[in-house]
Structure 1
Amino acid sequence: MALTSSPAPVAFLGPAGTYTELAALLACPEQPHLHSQGSHPLVPYPTIIACLEAVATGQQEWAVVPVENSVEGGVSMTLDALWQLEGLQIYQALILPIRHALMGRAKALEQIEQVYSHPQALAQCQVWLGSHLPQATLIPTRSTTEELDRVQTQPMAAVIASERAAALYKLPILACPINDHPDNCTRFWVIGRSQPKADLASPGGSHTSLAFSLPENVPGALLKPLQVFAEQGLNMSRIESRPTKKSAGTYVFFVDLENAPDQPYLSPKVIAALEQIAETLKLLGSYPVHDLSKQGGIAFPN
């Protein structure tokens, strides 16, 4: 299902200048209406779960959220929210290359006493920070841009964010790129409400995502759903577990599958087999993936 051309707002993790906002601006190359804030306005939210709750409750039609970083792994807040909330569907995925910049008003790196950023960004730059700013205290924030206003008046503070954020907030870039791995990239999902009709509930594409819990924690319990994938020739591009938060030692498993070239959806046979095994099964969507990390470069919207 293609995104509508109506000017429905898109929720993103704010404030302005985050990588999630950039992903929202760049999402869906075949959907030009998404490129313009004027025709498809972006609405910042303070947390990932607030973005998804806005869609689940009908406040917004779309949300763009991070789901996995190539260095630090899965984004637990996104996965937990998708398991807990009802009526959400993945419509597209976008893989965005990440270039972290250190920005602030300090005259020299030696002056910096605090570095603010999202925990994932701090972790992705930990080697550089340990080498160049061993004296600085690392302070996690809800997003990479949450504390950018602080450094306008505090020269002893700096923020790790995108080069686009530095331009938006008119802050000097002190060093860039500072991420420890040059091929660092983050995968984002475009999330909308699931549709009532089965044939409209998923747009179809190269990947399918699902989540399931198992009725009991016994030897071989996880092997059964994995055998279903193997028998049907489905390759798992990712599997990750998250606590159910019901009792210790119980987990939800999130799986991304590569669809067969001639099958853009998960077959009813596979779904039926998984329903026989799982305690709870949530089909999160079949969707296309746009990998901007493999392109020669990307245009950064203003």
Structure 2
Amino acid sequence: MTLLALGPEGTFSHHVAGRLAREDEEIRLMPTITGIFAAVEAGEGDGVVPIENSEAGGVGPTLDGLQQHRVVITGEAYLPVVHCLAAAEPPHPGMVIYAHQQTHEQCSIFIEAEGLTVVQTSSNAASAVAMEQHPGTGAIVSSQLASLYHLPIVATGVQNSASNTTRFVRIGRREERGNGPAAGAAKCSILVDPHENRAGLLYDLLGVFAARGITLTRIESRPSKRGIGTYVFFIDLVLSTGWEDAIRELKAMTSVKEFGCYPLLEVA
């Protein structure tokens, strides 16, 4: 079996995949999150993708992938994220550094305070490679990645928050999963597409959960891609009494796509 994750070698996704891979699974690194979703839907294996960060928020390609592909979430995992500045010299104003977009957002306070010039890359590993290819520059990467590429570290813990954490989800092909909650499930995820915009819309949608005392752990709006001003809502809810009735009531009101109910997976 295969477990797909965002590469190249040394990314946080690669690290999480290594912790979540089962004994019979081989990790295959992919160049994009979009490619992971397409491969999972095609039956090439399960996938591990980042879905949100405590500092930078939702990961757009993952939310788009959930919206566009026939996949389900089979587990979630949380990874504390510590970023380092790799460089041959201490940071100084105007110094060019390479950073992935999410990393840039997570380290924006340090970057602005030091007056660094950021060139965004496709991954943290790509940042390491770019630094190697351009002497005199730096890169914001993990300590593990710096070690892998033999990069000197001049500053550690440059993320905005000491509690910086990224949430990952394991995804699988919808046709290969049952309809009920996975063993040990504690949370469910859905996508709500109202197909309208009216006064009290969000109040009505959330009311089905409030009426049953169901706790929501996340609500995020995303463009529906049908034009400006129309949105869909990603909702995570705690698996508790009445959750099935709440979903049924929502479906009577609007369009709902279920991503499944799943357990917390350990990555330590």
Query: Aligning the two structures, in what range does the TM-score lie when normalised by the shorter sequence?
Result: over 0.9
Aligned-partner SS, 1:146: helix
Q: Deviations over 1:169-208 (max 9, x none)?
A: 1211221111121000000000111246744674561100
1:291–1:73 distance in 2 versus 1, CA, 3 Å: farther
1:161–1:169 distance in 2 versus 1, CA, 3 Å: same
- Structure 2 counterpart of 1:128: 110
* Mapped contact 1:14–1:146 kept (Cα < 8 A): no
Give, in whole Å, the separation in 2 of the partners of 1:157 and 1:127: 19
- Partner amino acid, structure 1, of 2:11: T
Structure 2 counterpart of 1:81, from 50, 65, 79: 65
Give, in whole Å, the separation in 1 of the partners of 2:173 and 2:72: 6
Give, in whole Å, the separation in 1 of the partners of 2:231 and 2:173: 25
Aligned-partner SS, 1:281: strand
- Structure 1 counterpart of 2:206: 226
What TM-score do you get using the length of structure 2 for normalisation?
0.92
- Partner amino acid, structure 1, of 2:146: A
User: Could you list the runs of 5+ residues in structure 1 that have no partner in the other structure?
Assistant: 1-7, 28-33, 293-297
Structure 1 range deviating more: 213-222 or 238-247:
213-222
User: Could you list the runs of 5+ residues in structure 2 that have no partner in the other structure?
Assistant: none
Percent same amino acid at aligned positions? 33
Aligned-partner SS, 2:126: coil
Q: CA deviation at 1:227?
A: 1.0
Give, in whole Å, the separation in 2 of the partners of 1:226 and 1:285: 19
Q: CA deviation at 1:116?
A: 1.0
Aligned-partner SS, 1:224: helix
Q: Deviations over 1:246-274 (max 9, x none)?
A: 121111100000112xx5x942x222211
Give, in whole Å, the separation in 1 of the partners of 2:161 and 2:227: 37
Give, in whole Å, the separation in 2 of the partners of 1:151 and 1:130: 19
* Mapped contact 1:15–1:46 kept (Cα < 8 A): yes
Structure 1 counterpart of 2:248, from 252, 272, 276: 272
Give, in whole Å, the separation in 1 of the partners of 2:102 and 2:177: 37
Give, in whole Å, the separation in 1 of the partners of 2:25 and 2:94: 39
Q: CA deviation at 1:220?
A: 1.3
Give, in whole Å, the separation in 2 of the partners of 1:281 and 1:288: 21
Q: Deviations over 1:208-233 (max 9, x none)?
A: 00001113211112222211111122
Aligned-partner SS, 1:139: strand
Task: Please give the root-mean-square deviation of Cα atoms over the aligned residues, in Å.
Answer: 2.1
- Partner amino acid, structure 2, of 1:61: G
Aligned-partner SS, 2:129: helix
Give, in whole Å, the separation in 2 of the partners of 1:197 and 1:95: 23
Give, in whole Å, the separation in 2 of the partners of 1:174 and 1:103: 6
- Structure 1 counterpart of 2:80: 97
- Partner amino acid, structure 2, of 1:242: R
